[in-house]
Amino acid sequence: MGFTFEEGPLLETEWYNFDALNVPKDHPARDMQDTFFIKDEEERVLRTHTSPVQVRYMEAQTKKGIQPPYRVIVPGKVFRNEATDMTHEAEFFQIEGLAVGEDVTLANLKGTLARFFSELFKGASVEVRFRPSFFPFVEPGVEVDMRLVGSDVPDKLRDKWIEMMGAGMVHPSVLKNAGVDPRKYRGFAFGMGLDRLAMLRWGIDDVRLMHSADLRFVNQF
Amino acid sequence: MKVSRNWLQAFFNDPLPSAQELADALTFHAFEIEEVVNSGSDDILDVKVTPNRGHDCLSHRGIARELSAILMKPVKEDPLRVQINLEPPTDAVSVSIAEPTLCRRYIAGYIRGVKVGPSPEWLKNSLEAVGQRSINNVVDATNYVMFNLGQPLHAFDAGQLRAENGAFAIEVRKAKAGENMIALDDKEYTLADTMLVIADTHANAAIGIAGVKGGKPAGITEATKDIIIESANFDGVSVRRTAAALKLRTDASSRFEQVISPELAAYGMYAAAKLIVELAGGEIVGFVDEYPLVAEKKQTEVTTAFVNATLGTELQDTDIEAALTRLDLAHVQEGGKFVVNVPFERLDILIPEDLVEEIARIAGYDKIPAVELPKLSEPVAVNTNFYWTDRICEFLIGRGFSEIFTSIFAEEGDRAVLNKVDSVRPYLRRDLLVGLREALDKNVRNKDLLGLRQVKLFEIGTRWSKDSESVILGIAVEHIKKEKSTTDFLRELGESLGVTIAEVIDLPAEALAKAGVEEIDLSALLPKLSVPDAYGTAPSSTTERYQPFSKYPFMVRDVALWTPSGTSPEDVLAVISAHAGELLVRSELFDRFEKEGKVSYAFRLIFQSFDKTLTDGDTNERMESIYTGLKEKGYEIR
């Protein structure tokens, strides 16, 4: 589908993790994520999502004089300052997707995700639906649900809508902050928890196993 | 936010559908619903209002408007669209705002001769439905208006304020450093000079923490006769900081935090004054409205072409028109262009994209087709780091290594986290070695269960020094005589990458190799490798489903036996399995030799239960059964 890999630092500046993504200081939207701050280093956080790489990547491209189309996916570790249990880890993996061009639409997001899920679940029949949601760095913003249909789908997953990720059309302020002209280009972005995805895909019941370094778990894959 | 179905019904002539249908309507067109709870004759929906709609939807009126747009049911009368006037003015109260950027509007309403008492049943029920406790008719009225319209209000006992020349004076100012106030929760708060307060000018005392909580001394009691109602607009950031600093988050502060329009204050005051007189009697003396800078009216425009180009839809002008009308977004249409006069409370609508979202969610996201991205003319650029990282994984996995992830948090390091919730291991790790060492020890203990000859682990992860962050490959190899060590594997890895690692980056000290763990800096190594022109195949798993494993310890037993020539290990294992039962989780041939026409086999058997820790007795019992089976077959146990 034309996406390349991209990466970024885990220890981020508040600018890339929040401000550039349209999450100003003291905005209630910052409460949406529990952030680890760093001692004696102002404006430094462990990134709460892979989205800062959106801005870093676009900025690097425009600085090199390379205009869209851009298509990247960014897998990587992210951090939330919360207590851990079977479904919560303070360190986990996310995958971010970004496609920017003159003609990228929300319909392309639906098409891209349908294809992605279908390949992940080995060609199973997949339905994708959007629900309205809000993330400061996209507008419109949606929550994406997926449903697997067909007889070869494991019982636990068949015909059930599962919340997969947040997504939407990149907010023009984010494009602008990254040096991309929002009057000429638009794009979609999505961000999804990889641990949760793996848990669904392989029927794993405890997210902490993923980070346990326990070969009784690891060597099954 | 808790929303009562009965409360919502009051906005409509038509009967509303069931709570579940309301929940679905909101889910697919507005907000997530946390839960729907039936409580007797009412249903309560817990609506997760998104931060962009905190301006207008933290209220029953806001949710009713949403439902009106979604279900295409007109509201009877929208309290924010009726003409109101706050008459008469009065000079019995004066208001001065010392901080107009933090308080954009302050309306005081003076009512004399109220009779404070219990609220009527309908009001008690309404408040209880949304999780509030009824206090008295005056306080309940102000709370009711907040939950109905979204405007926080407060009522002061005028009898507790100081009048001079027959007039009260209210001041909105910053607190004096160290100024104290006992709030309605009976706690004493020490205020900082960054916090905004409402003060009784004549008494020179704080009577409320602006937008957060009222003070106890001027609180409404049974004895209260005259009241001053406050309907004001406070700055979101200021309220948020104050509430956070005092650890005092209230229904009022959480609404101001989201930023509300100063226009709303007038509607709040109008409704509250009306309701109080209705419930508690009294006479409205008059209102003071301090509103230095009137909020500007906003317009935002969008075209049908822009909507379709963003969504990938083929909506018509008529579809856009219909969506805007349903949303009560007054607009002027010129061909395919729509100029929307944004209602004052919709502070979220600023740019064309905001209108696109409004149209999309009302038209329905199910109308958006799934279309793959167009093909790119340029080949995909290859990320060198990912390419080489994959090759390293491939190499190590090919040599029996397992990839693990350990925590980035450590007991020691050069940088620390400031606010870790669990406060253990607060440092960012400065190497991967400690985690790898721990993981190695842990897994070596399970070696027999895992059926591994030698435990070999690697992690590709991040470490931090004082001023940098780098990606590291760490490997851990169980020390076994005559088997390869970490250093051997690193050397071979280098060969496979086409470099002599020691020549391109610094290798770790030899001491580490002895401990069975080593790490190399990939951030330094990878840039020295050639740039590939295409991604290779990424290592992937063929596993279909994960099998949970037992958390209980396992037991190991060996069995050695003589068998007649021509007996295969499978023949023996079949007998063992048949007599071992479910507790046998792994069996492995570890020795075989022939002598005098007989074959000797030795098997290692691993026993484990999913339900309990096995005792020697449990295991011996299984072994006895196996011995019996083997003997019956004519094998000779050694």
How do residues B418-446 score in pLDDT, each as one tens digit? 988 877 899 999 999 999 999 999 999 99
State the Cα–Cα distance between residues B513 and B490, nearest whole angstrom.
10
pLDDT for position A122: 79
| B368, closest residue in chain A (CA to CA) | A107
Between B21 and B535, residue with greater pLDDT? B21
At a CB cut-off of 8 Å and minimum separation 6, what does B46 contact? B1, B2, B3, B33, B34, B35, B36, B37
Q: Once rounded to an integer, what is the mean pLDDT over residues B605-632? A: 92
Q: Which two tokens stand for residue B46?
A: 């817990």
Q: Chain B interface, mutation test: which of A118, A144, A216, A217, most B Cβ atoms within 10 Å?
A: A216
pLDDT for position B502: 77
At a CB cut-off of 8 Å and minimum separation 6, what does B58 contact? B1, B49, B150, B254, B255, B258
3-state secondary structure of A125: strand
pLDDT band of residue A83 (cuts 50, 70, 90) is: confident
Q: What residues does CATH 3.30.70.380 cover in chain B?
A: 555-637
Look-up: residue for tokens 């011995």? B627
In this predicted structure, the answer to whether residue B501 has a pLDDT above a threshold of 80 is no
Between B302 and A200, residue with greater pLDDT? B302
A218 touches chain B (CB under 8 A): yes
Phi-psi region of B42 (alpha: psi -120 to 50; beta: other; left: phi over 0): beta
Q: Once rounded to an integer, what is the mean pLDDT over residues B97-115? A: 97
Q: Once rounded to an integer, what is the mean pLDDT over residues A202-213? A: 87
Mean pLDDT of chain B: 93
Q: Are the C-beta atoms of A108 and B373 separated by less than 8 Å?
A: yes
Report pTM: 0.89
Q: What is the CATH number of domain B2-71?
A: 3.30.56.10
- In this structure, of B6-15, B262-271, B282-291, B617-626, the range with the lowest mean pLDDT score is B617-626
pLDDT for position B414: 95
State the Cα–Cα distance between residues B206 and B175, nearest whole angstrom.
8
Q: What is the CATH number of domain B298-367?
A: 3.30.56.10
**pLDDT per residue as tens digits for the range B117-131:** 999 999 999 999 999
pLDDT band of residue B455 (cuts 50, 70, 90) is: very high
State the Cα–Cα distance between residues B387 and B545, nearest whole angstrom.
28
- In this structure, of A95-99, B272-276, B511-515, B560-564, the range with the lowest mean pLDDT score is B511-515
pLDDT for position B509: 62
Q: What residues does CATH 3.50.40.10 cover in chain B?
A: 93-290
Nearest CB to A38; choose among B311, B405, B415: B415
| Residue among B158, B283, B147 at smallest CA distance from B219 | B158
Say which CATH architecture domain B384-528 belongs to.
Answer: 2-Layer Sandwich (3.30)
Q: Once rounded to an integer, what is the mean pLDDT over residues A114-142? A: 91
| Residues β-bridged to residue B607 | B555, B584
pLDDT for position B503: 76
Q: Once rounded to an integer, what is the mean pLDDT over residues B234-255? A: 95
- In this structure, of A98-102, A126-130, B354-358, B548-552, the range with the lowest mean pLDDT score is B548-552
Q: What residues does CATH 3.30.56.10 cover in chain B?
A: 2-71, 298-367
| Residues β-bridged to residue A129 | A145
Using the beta-carbon criterion (under 8 Å), do B50 and A134 form an inter-chain contact? yes
Between B421 and A191, residue with greater pLDDT? A191
At a CB cut-off of 8 Å and minimum separation 6, what does B584 contact? B576, B577, B605, B606, B607, B622
In this predicted structure, the answer to whether residue B604 has a pLDDT above a threshold of 70 is yes
Q: What is the CATH number of domain B555-637?
A: 3.30.70.380
pLDDT band of residue B607 (cuts 50, 70, 90) is: very high
pLDDT for position A131: 97
Domain B93-290 CATH (choose: 3.50.40.10, 3.40.50.300, 3.20.20.70, 3.40.50.450): 3.50.40.10
Using the beta-carbon criterion (under 8 Å), do B240 and A111 form an inter-chain contact? no
In this predicted structure, the answer to whether residue B581 has a pLDDT above a threshold of 90 is no
B260 touches chain A (CB under 8 A): no
3-state secondary structure of B547: coil
State the Cα–Cα distance between residues B327 and B324, nearest whole angstrom.
5
At a CB cut-off of 8 Å and minimum separation 6, what does B149 contact? B59, B61, B79, B80, B264, B267, B268, B271
| Residue among A24, A25, A80, A21 at smallest CA distance from A56 | A21
In this predicted structure, the answer to whether residue B511 has a pLDDT above a threshold of 70 is no
In this predicted structure, the answer to whether residue A112 has a pLDDT above a threshold of 90 is yes
B393 touches chain A (CB under 8 A): no
- Distance from the B249 Cα atom to the nearest Cα atom in chain A, whole angstroms: 13
Mean pLDDT of chain A: 91
pLDDT for position B336: 93
Q: How many CA atoms lie within 13 A of B433 on its CB side?
A: 18
* Domains of chain A by start residue, with CATH: 4-211 (3.30.930.10)
Strands B456-464 and B402-403 come out as: parallel
